[in-house]
């Protein structure tokens, strides 16, 4: 059979030939692309998705549309993307929650984050502040620990919901400090932080980008930050490791992912454009102003981060006994 006829026959039979997918993907994207966000509008994931969508629309000449699908700790949006065609036209703005935390929290997930998703770019990360209500006496981690040890079970910490990173950070604090703060779950960070600002709950963990305004405005006290180095925007706030809790280093991160089996040329093209966007002065300055660190890691490095973080959170979840429900 002549080569051209063989290619035509293979195409009719649905056989994928090496090199042919790459040739066809040169025109990508040929229509609008959807970026699905697992959380409501207004948060850090939504911000990352919308900023990148605007830049990718400019650079690739097709509209990148952000669609929010909140619910079930991010599982609804993730399952939707996993079941989408692997053609590069439905992408996930993933966070560590769905990818490395939920597999250890839920007895059964409708997706496997390693087998069902392809990493494109690990975009940004953000540390967490340990925040205290304005009327809560402790002004440092050590003062908090001393008070909590003297009054086990008396004080509470809020979170954005069972199994959220805010919840797990509080459980890690309990474990490492040998204290017992009682978990109070809310339906979202907004309602949780509102009750802390009103002195109804004593403690909450919150992403630097979400909380820095409250701290600078005097509505919350930042006792420490979960990063390895102090946050430049509030250099007077020590790290949790500096505050006597070695090993307490956690970050929330965000990254672009695609359904598994998305052609590699599309993954590479998206990665290259996302990195260009992240390294542009306009976008990098905007994200840094929001307390985010630019990572811009490629598919392989992203996959390695998923593996290492999944192990870390599995250990934290097991030691704390945290549950999603």
Asked if residue 236 is part of any domain, the answer here is: no
**Residue 106 CB partners (closer than 8 Å, separation 6+):** 73, 75, 163, 324
Work out the number of other CB atoms within 10 angstroms of the CB of residue 22: 13
Shared-domain flag, residues 114 and 257: yes
pLDDT in tens, 188-240: 888 999 999 999 999 999 999 889 999 999 999 999 999 999 998 899 999 99
75 and 38 within one domain: yes
Confirm whether 242 is domain-assigned.
no
What's the half-sphere exposure (Cβ side, CA atoms, 13 Å) at 129?
Answer: 31
Q: Tell whether 26 is covered by a domain.
A: no
136 and 93 in a common domain: no
121 and 255, same domain (yes or no) = yes
Burial class from Cβ neighbours inside 10 Å (0-12, 13-18, 19+) for residue 287 reads buried
Write down which residue in 225, 243, 273 finishes a domain. 225
CATH number of 298's domain: 3.40.190.150
Model confidence over 114-166: pLDDT tens digits? 999 999 999 999 999 999 999 999 999 999 999 999 999 999 999 988 888 99
**Same domain, yes or no: 271 and 207:** no
pLDDT confidence of residue 24:
47
Both tokens of residue 170?
A: 């509080």
Q: Give the domain-ending residue among 207, 225, 243.
A: 225
Q: Would residue 246 count as lying in a domain?
A: no
Residues 259 and 238: their CA atoms lie apart, in Å, by 40
Cβ distance 99 to 196 under 8 Å?
Answer: no
What pLDDT is recorded for position 26?
A: 80
Report the percentage of the chain scoring pLDDT > 70. 92
Here the tokens at position 139 are 């002004």
Q: Are 184 and 150 found together in one domain?
A: yes
> pLDDT (tens digit, 9 = 90+) per residue, 233-291?
899 999 999 999 999 999 999 999 999 999 999 999 999 999 999 999 999 999 988 88
pLDDT above 80 (res 57): yes
Question: Looking at the domain assignment, is residue 244 inside a domain?
Answer: no
What's the total number of domains in the chain? 2
- Which range of residues forms the domain containing residue 108? 32-125+251-320
**DSSP of 71-129:** -GGGHHHHHHHHTS-SSSSEEEEEEHIIIIIHHHH-S--SS-TTTSEEEEEEEEEEEEE
- CA terminus-to-terminus distance, the chain: 61
CATH number at residue 180: 3.40.190.10
Q: Are residues 196 and 266 in the same domain?
A: no
Q: How far is CA 33 from the centre of its chain?
A: 21
Residue 303 and residue 279 in one domain: yes
Q: Are residues 261 and 114 in the same domain?
A: yes
User: Which residue is associated with the tokens 């660190």?
Assistant: 293
Inside any domain, residue 1: no
């Amino acid at each position: 059979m002549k080569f051209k006829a063989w290619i035509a026959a293979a195409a009719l039979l649905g056989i994928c030939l090496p090199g042919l997918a790459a040739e066809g993907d040169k025109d990508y994207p040929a229509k609008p692309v959807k970026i699905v966000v697992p959380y409501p509008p207004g948060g850090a994931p939504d911000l990352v998705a919308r900023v990148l969508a605007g830049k990718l629309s400019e650079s690739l000449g097709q509209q990148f549309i952000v669609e929010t699908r909140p619910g079930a700790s991010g599982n609804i949006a993730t399952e939707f993307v996993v079941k989408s065609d692997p053609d590069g036209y439905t992408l996930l703005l993933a966070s560590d929650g769905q990818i490395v935390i939920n597999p250890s929290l839920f007895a059964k997930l409708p997706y496997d984050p390693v087998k069902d998703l392809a990493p494109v770019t690990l975009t940004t990360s953000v540390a967490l502040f340990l925040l205290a209500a304005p009327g809560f006496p402790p002004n440092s981690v050590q003062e908090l620990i001393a008070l909590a040890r003297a009054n086990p079970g008396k004080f509470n910490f809020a979170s954005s919901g069972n199994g959220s990173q805010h919840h797990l950070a509080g459980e890690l604090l309990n474990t490492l400090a040998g204290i017992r703060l009682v978990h109070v779950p809310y339906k979202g960070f907004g309602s949780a932080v509102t009750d802390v600002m009103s002195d109804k709950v004593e403690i909450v963990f919150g992403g630097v980008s979400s909380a820095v305004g409250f701290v600078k405005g005097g509505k919350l006290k930042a006792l420490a930050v979960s990063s390895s180095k102090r946050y430049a925007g509030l250099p007077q706030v020590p790290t949790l490791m500096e505050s006597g809790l070695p090993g307490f280093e956690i970050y929330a991160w965000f990254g672009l992912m695609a359904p598994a089996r998305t052609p590699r040329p599309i993954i590479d093209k998206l990665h290259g454009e996302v990195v260009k966007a992240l390294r542009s002065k306009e976008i990098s300055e905007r994200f840094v102003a929001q307390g985010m660190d630019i990572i811009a890691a490629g598919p392989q490095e992203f996959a390695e981060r998923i593996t290492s973080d999944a192990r870390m959170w599995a250990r934290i979840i097991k030691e704390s006994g945290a549950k999603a429900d």
